[in-house]
Structure 1
Amino acid sequence: MSGAFRETVTALLARPDVGPVLVQVATTLVSLVMILGLYALARSLRLGGDQRIADADHAKRLAEETWPGFAATEVTLDRARIGALVRNVEGRVLLIRRHGARFVGRELTTHDGIRLDRHTLTLETGDRQAGTLTIDLGADAQIWAASLRRLIDPARGAVA
């Protein structure tokens, strides 16, 4: 910094009526620039956003990513497309759900904690991280609720 500029800044900061205001304005501007920089970084990395399951094929791919070797044969999507139920030929059912900006899958091994209310199913996986999810399946809700009553629990080796 040049000597004249330094003296001007020092003189302004020394004035009781201007100094605190300049510091506050400078702090606000720096904060605003930092927030805009973080926003630009998040956009460039494509973080966040409204993640949805596009269609049944997307749900099948998510099931395969979650559970390698899971060959989905039957899929039903939540009307809001934030969750799906996916069944394979063995009768195993995965619940695909949004978790933040990505999707996770949990295998449903028992019908305990599954409640039907008209067109919605409330699913409690028993996993603290997965929590409870209510999905709107429309007319498919009753069909899936009935089929979930016949889940085979691999740990018990029998119908749950």
Structure 2
Amino acid sequence: MNWMQLGGSVAAVLVLVLISWLLKLGESRIADAETAKRMAEDALSGFVARDALVGTNGAAALVLGNDGIALLKRHGAKVAARRLARPLWRRPSPEGVTVESGERMFGPVLLYGVLPEDVDRLEAQLTLM
């Protein structure tokens, strides 16, 4: 192997990294409420999103929909979603609110920077529908 081959290989890898960065491949951050609503609608069949709460770190969200509430969390390069049954099982923590998914494999999800009152308000909107 000579220096030209090594340099060409490194340059090719850097070009691929740049292309994936420009296309935002592998980006699973839940940036805002609109993104969370779109992700919930894409992941759950028949789900029509109306409102959303997003953790300040972009790792999780609660989305209010036509037939319930969806819980979203980052899972590697993707976002996983589950429908939740009412009442929501949650507990306050110093970082925000932890919502129990009811599934052992999915586990509890921390909504970083979200207040319990915000979760109460979102759940109350479901009863008004």
TM norm structure 2: 0.67
Answer whether contact 1:123 1:134 (CA < 8 A) is retained. yes
Closer, same or farther in 2 for the Cα pair 1:27/1:134, shift >3 Å? farther
Counterpart of 2:31, as a letter, is: A
The one-letter amino acid paired with 1:144 is: V
Are 1:95 and 2:71 counterparts?
yes
Q: For 1:63-106, what per-residue CA distance to the aligned partner results, in whole angstroms no more than 9, with x for missing partners?
A: 1101132112221111112211011233x111112222222211
Alignment: residue pair count: 121
Gaps of 5+ in 2: none
Q: Are 1:107 and 2:83 matched, yes or no? A: yes
Any unmatched runs of 5+ in structure 1? 1-25, 152-160
| SS of structure 1 residue aligned to 2:45 | coil
TM-score with structure 1 length normalisation? 0.56
- Tell whether 2:19 aligns with 1:41: no
What root-mean-square deviation, in Å, do the aligned CA atoms of Structure 1 and Structure 2 show? 3.5
Quick one: percent identity of the two aligned structures?
Answer: 26
Q: Which structure is larger by alpha-carbon Rg, 1 or 2?
A: 1
The answer for the alignment partner of 1:132 in structure 2 is: 108
2:56 is the counterpart of 1:79: yes
Partners in 2 of 1:124 and 1:30 — Cα distance? Answer: 53
Tell me the CA shift for residue 116 of structure 1. 1.7
Cα 1:27–1:95 shift into 2, 3 Å: farther
Q: Quick one: structure 1 residues 27 and 137, their matched pair in 2 at CA, closer, same or farther if it must change by over 3 Å?
A: same
The higher relative CO (CA closer than 8 Å, separation ≥ 6) is in 2
Q: SS at the partner of 1:54?
A: coil
Mapping for residues 1-160 of structure 1, pairs under 5 Å: 26=1, 34=9, 36-45=11-20, 46=23, 47-49=25-27, 51-90=28-67, 92-109=68-85, 114-118=90-94, 120-125=96-101, 126-128=103-105, 130-139=106-115, 141-144=116-119
